[in-house]
Amino acid sequence: MEHGVVNNNMTRRKFVVRMVQGSLGIGLGSIAGACGEAPVQISPRNAAGLPAPIPRETKAAQRPIEPPQAFPLLEVSGSPEEIGLAAGKRFEKQIRLGLERRAEWFNGLKAFAQGQGQGAFDKLVSASQTHVPRAFQQLQGWARGTGIPLKDLLVLNLKSEIGLLRDRAEGKSTPASDKERQPGCSTIVVKSGEKLIHVHNEDGADVYADLMFLLKVRPDNQPAYLTLCYPGILPGNAPGFNELGLVQTTNYIAAKEVRLGAGRYFLDHMVLECKTIDEAIEWVTHKERAFAFHHVLTNLKEGRSVGVEVTPAKKETKEIKGLFLHTNHLVYDSMKEAPQDPKYVSSSSQSRWEVLQKWAKTAAPPEGLTRDDLVQALASHEQAPYSPCRHPKGDVHGFTLATAAFETPQIEIHLSVGQPCLGRWNNHSI
Percentage of the chain with pLDDT > 70? 83
Q: What does the mean pLDDT of the chain come to? A: 87
Pick from 110-119, 141-150, 170-179, 201-210: least confident: 170-179
Pick from 26-40, 154-168, 321-335, 346-360: least confident: 26-40
According to DSSP, the residues that pair with 377 across neighbouring strands are none
Cα–Cα dist 351/383, whole Å? 7
Which pLDDT score, from 0 to 100, does residue 4 have? Answer: 30
Instruction: Give the pLDDT mean for 318-334.
Output: 98
End-to-end Cα spacing for the chain: 11
**Strand order from edge to edge, sheet including 425-429:** 322-326, 186-192, 195-205, 398-407, 412-417, 425-429
pLDDT surpassing 60 at residue 177: no
Closest CA to 366 of 320, 302, 409: 320
Which pLDDT score, from 0 to 100, does residue 104 have? Answer: 95
Which pLDDT score, from 0 to 100, does residue 174 have? Answer: 57
Say which residue, 167 or 41, is predicted with more confidence.
Answer: 167
Which pLDDT score, from 0 to 100, does residue 41 have? Answer: 53
Which pLDDT score, from 0 to 100, does residue 27 have? Answer: 37
Which pLDDT score, from 0 to 100, does residue 182 have? Answer: 63
pLDDT surpassing 50 at residue 163: yes
**Strand order from edge to edge, sheet including 240-242:** 7-8, 73-78, 213-219, 225-229, 240-242, 246-251, 293-299, 304-310, 315-319
According to DSSP, the residues that pair with 412 across neighbouring strands are 429
What would the pLDDT profile of 210-220 be if each residue is shown by its tens digit? 999 999 999 99
Cα–Cα dist 251/247, whole Å? 14
Which pLDDT score, from 0 to 100, does residue 350 have? Answer: 95
Which pLDDT score, from 0 to 100, does residue 48 have? Answer: 36
Which pLDDT score, from 0 to 100, does residue 64 have? Answer: 65
Cα–Cα dist 44/289, whole Å? 38
Burial of residue 184, with CB atoms counted within 10 A of its CB: 0-12 exposed, 13-18 middle, 19 or more buried: buried
* Angle made by CA atoms 139, 286, 192, in degrees to the nearest 5: 100
Which pLDDT score, from 0 to 100, does residue 68 have? Answer: 87
